[in-house]
Each structure stands twice: as C-alpha cells, then as structure tokens.
Chains A and B, each alone.
Chain A
Amino acid sequence: MMLGFEEMYKEHCDMVYNLALNYVQQVEDAEEITQDVFIKIYHKQELFEQRSTLKTWIYRITINSSLDFIRKKRRRPLFQLLSPGTNDYAKRKETKHPGVLLEEKEAYDRLFYALNLLPSKQKTVILLLKNEGLSQKETSKILNMSVKGVESLFQRAKKNLSKQLKKESR
C-alpha cells in the first residue's frame, strides 16, 4: 500500500503542484496545497472508485483543495490586516509564479490578476483547457459536466476575462 502511494505521488506530484501554482501563483501556498492533496489521497485511496480514472480523481481533489485554500485565506481578517493585499488573490497585482519568465512577468501579472477575479468555475475551466491542455471531454469528466456545458462555461469565462483585461488596461 505504501509503495503504491509513493508511486502515485511520483507520477502525479508535478501535475498537482503546477495546477496549484496556477491557482495561487505562489510557491509556499502551492506546496501547502500539494501536501494537503496527497494527505487526502493517502486517507481516501481506498475509497477511490474505478468509475473515473485516477488522474481525473486527483485533478478533482487538487481543484477542490486549491479553491478551499483560497477561500480560507480570504477568511483570515487578522492576516489581511498584517499584510494587506497578499492573502486575497483577487486583490494581488503581483504574482510569484516560478514558471513565468522575468521578461514576461508583467503580462502574466495582468493575466493572473484578471483570472483571479473570475468566479472559481470559470477560472478552473480556463486553467484546465488552456494551461493543462486538456480536451473538453476530459474537462467535462473532471468537472462532472456535459461537454456542451464546458463549452458554454469556457465561452463565458473567456468573455469575462476579456472584460477584466480591458478594464485593467484602461
């Protein structure tokens, strides 16, 4: 059982870590989420039903953990008082994403700022389709939606992102 878990970790840790990084754009937070995801996997691996693939299941846990983490951070008023603007991702204008080149940082700061203002489902669909490079079918399985639902959600997300980017460039 332990070996199975270690193998599972080795195979999926980068995927989990990178997706978490795209949600929070900070190394420390992404590491915390990754730890949380694998602890959940460790405890729930026996409950994993073969109805979905392992990858789909891990994606779901990562998405939920990332969104929970962001929600919890928003609920910490004391920390917000101590360091305003760093805990609420929607208010932070600068990101510390290690996968972004320094010369492109400004463009990514703008993009992530707009992305963080979107509703969580819209942000998720953009990350899965555009960053993870998943197909609409794969995304629909992860989000438990129809392919058409994913398509319309993505269109809405793109529209909202465009609005946010326009607002910001003004």
Chain B
Amino acid sequence: MLDKVLFYFFAGIAVASAALMVTRRNVVHSAIFLITALLATAGIFLQLRAEFLFIVQIILYVGGIMVLFVFVIMLVNLDVALQQIQFARQKWVALIVALALAGQVGVMFWTSGKMPGQGLPVLTAVAANRLPLNSEAVAKSLFDSYLLPFEIASVLLLVAMIGAVVMAKKRA
C-alpha cells in the first residue's frame, strides 16, 4: 500500500515536471523542472530499493545540471530568448513521433494482457531485508562479470575528455 502511494506520488511529480520542463519559456525554470523530474525518478529508484542507483542519480545530475545552469546563465541571452517564439517549427514531426510512441506502448500493454508470461515481465516481490546489498551487487557486476566492457567504456570517456581539453586549448 505504502509502496503504491509512494510510486504514484513520485511518478506524478516526474511526469508533471517533465511536461512543465518542455513548456516553460524561461530556460532556468526549465532547468529547475528538469532537476525536479530527475529527483522524482531517483525517488522511484529508492522506492524500488535500488538505493545505489538513487544516490548516483542525484550526485551525477547535481553536477551535470550545475554545469548546465552555468551555461544557460552565461551563454543564453534570457531577455531576448523570452520574447522570441520558440518550439513552433517541429510541430508536425513531434506529433507523429509522439503518436508512434504512444502506439508502441499501447500495443505492448495490449499484447502483455493477451499472452500471459510473454509480455511485460512481472517480478515477484521480495522482502527488503532479503535483497542483496545493492552497492555491493553493482560493484561485483561491474568489476567482476563485466570488467572488460566497463574498462573499454571508461577509456572511451577518457579519450573524449582529453579530446575536449586539447580542442579547447589555445594553440601556443
């Protein structure tokens, strides 16, 4: 019962603030609603007892959106941006994409109702104290089972970072 209420609470906040994020004119307000949506998603992770995902979501997005804020404040001329008409060019494309997505989700729900055991996987609930500790579980799967892909991904990120630094540096 409690879980259900919490889920609808967080999910409602996430959906509402995501909608507000794309409809606000002011870019800073959009950023605020973006972080609200992400925090609400973190809340859903917590409600699913994935506390490691919850905190990683918060820590990463705090840093990430912080930088976004700085960019918005420094690069976007807010007074000018507020007066322009925005988001009007891709109306029809957006409508088609949204309809396609809605259709896809609808079909998935419909088939999952028709064919038991084949559509959406239904997980059985486990008591919270019998779940494996999940920061340990994440560490084990990253550094044990998937060590090579993990290392490849981190080398890729490192290359991207060094590339950015080299490109940003002035030629002496």
Is A bound to B?
Answer: no
Chain A: residues with CB nearer than 8 A to chain B?
Answer: none
